[in-house]
Amino acid sequence: MPRKKKFPRESVVSMTELVLPNDTNTLSNLMGGRLMHWMDVVSAISAQKHSNRIVVTASVDNISFKHPIRLGNVVTLTAKVTRAFNSSMEVRIDVKAEDIPSNTITESNSAFFTFVAVDQLGRPIDIPEVEPETEEEKALFDGALHRRQLRLILAGRMKPSEAKELKSYFDIP
């Protein structure tokens, strides 16, 4: 039986946090670990909305910090599912920091997290497919297979020679 399909817009979650003193390091910048925690929370909720299941974090792609987020900034994290495989799904998170007094918004970073939907006993369970609508969603959807294969290779769960989608990017026999 074919799996049900859902649109990325059905999994959009936005979360807003105020950077308080206990969130910062000695330079009054948001601690990276705190931001990663917020990213995990917002993306897990997005994955739950897509799958209607309990989800567990399977992997986190590279998180690079383009700009520091300062004490007193308002941080907005937006997440949505970009592609679903059998039981796993990729979620993109975009992070923006707003300095309200100066009326400036800075794009801090973005990342991809992967989640696996599980049943009540913790076993992976099938989830709906993703049907992208916009050009951006289609590009993220198409790139997700490449990112997935790269994750599996880096985790030692796939041999580079098995990564058919990546062969065009690398000289893989």
- Beta-strand relationship, 5-6 and 129-130: parallel
Tell me which of 18 and 145 has the higher pLDDT. 18
Query: What is the per-residue burial (b if ≥16 Cβ within 10 Å, else e) of 32-56?
Result: eebbeebbbebbbbbbbbbbebbbe
Neighbours of 75 (CB within 10 A): 20
Burial of 97 (0-12, 13-18, 19+ CB in 10 A): buried
In a domain, 157, yes or no: no
Distance CA 12, CA 111 (A): 15
In a domain, 137, yes or no: no
CATH number at residue 41: 3.10.129.10
Residue 20's alpha-carbon distances to 83, 100, 109, 129, 153, in angstroms, are: 34, 14, 19, 39, 39
In the chain, pLDDT over 70 holds for what percent of residues?
91
pLDDT band, very low/low/confident/very high, at 168 (cuts 50, 70, 90): low
Distance CA 71, CA 137 (A): 33
In a domain, 139, yes or no: no
Here the tokens at position 32 are 């990276």
In a domain, 161, yes or no: no
Cβ–Cβ < 8 Å for 46, 79: yes
In a domain, 73, yes or no: yes
pTM of the full predicted structure? 0.90
Domain region containing 23: 5-131
In a domain, 127, yes or no: yes
Distance CA 115, CA 136 (A): 21
In a domain, 42, yes or no: yes
Count of the separate structural domains present in the chain? 1
DSSP H helices in 27-112: 32-51
3-state DSSP assignment of residue 162: helix
In a domain, 28, yes or no: yes
Tell me which of 160 and 110 has the higher pLDDT. 110
Average pLDDT over the chain, rounded to an integer: 92
pLDDT digits (tens, 9 = 90+) for 54-108: 999 999 988 888 999 999 999 999 999 999 999 999 999 999 999 999 999 999 9
